[in-house]
Amino acid sequence: MKTIYLIGAPGSGKTTLTEALTRNWIEVAKHDDPVKWREHQTPYGTAISLGWLRPTFGGTDTLGNAAILEIEPWYPTINHDIVYGEGDRLANRRFFDLAIMYGEFYLFYLDTHPERAAQRRKARAAITGKEQNPSWVKGRETKHRNLAQEYNATFIPDALTPEEGASIIREVVFPTLQ
């Protein structure tokens, strides 16, 4: 099983990149046990996307704060080719080490310029009415950058389009299928 996980600062464009990556994945089922997840048929086999898709705060942000406790016993039973996740909820050593234990783990870091991410957060706040605390944002930036270094993430530069970023992920994870 291949686990693909995308991290980056709040407002870095993770949801937009995810939409580009999964655009041709066909959703076949939606589940909420043990956590929210979607099942897909992809050009690369069967896949699970952790969390549900929403315009803002989607992906693993739709999972509960204690999602890892529900995922740990479930992970060894997953019989899909791919597990995909993005966001902060499962961006931690506990989940990453679990993924490594049960297959191949691919970590990607969306390296967005802080000013661009701040502009995106501001635009999102105008829509949702939810402004993220600057101190919390700074903590997430540091956490994700440190995890990216520790787990030897593939960096996706800010200058790329979402489609180009998705191509990098596909080339790294599925090199023989490109």
Mean pLDDT of 125-141: 82
Give the confidence band of 131 by pLDDT, cuts at 50, 70, 90.
confident
> Residue 144 burial (CB < 10 Å; 0-12/13-18/19+)?
buried
As a whole number of angstroms, the distance between CA 33 and CA 22 comes to 22
Which pLDDT value is given to residue 117?
83
Domain residue ranges of the chain, discontinuous segments joined by + = 2-177
The closest alpha carbon to 62, from 75, 50, 74, belongs to 50
CATH number, domain 2-177: 3.40.50.300
As a whole number of angstroms, the distance between CA 57 and CA 62 comes to 7
Q: Which amino acid is at 177?
A: L
Place of tokens 């960096």: 155
Q: Is 178 a residue whose pLDDT tops 60?
A: no
Give the pLDDT confidence of 107-129 residue by residue, as tens digits: 999 998 889 888 988 887 888 78
Which pLDDT value is given to residue 6?
97
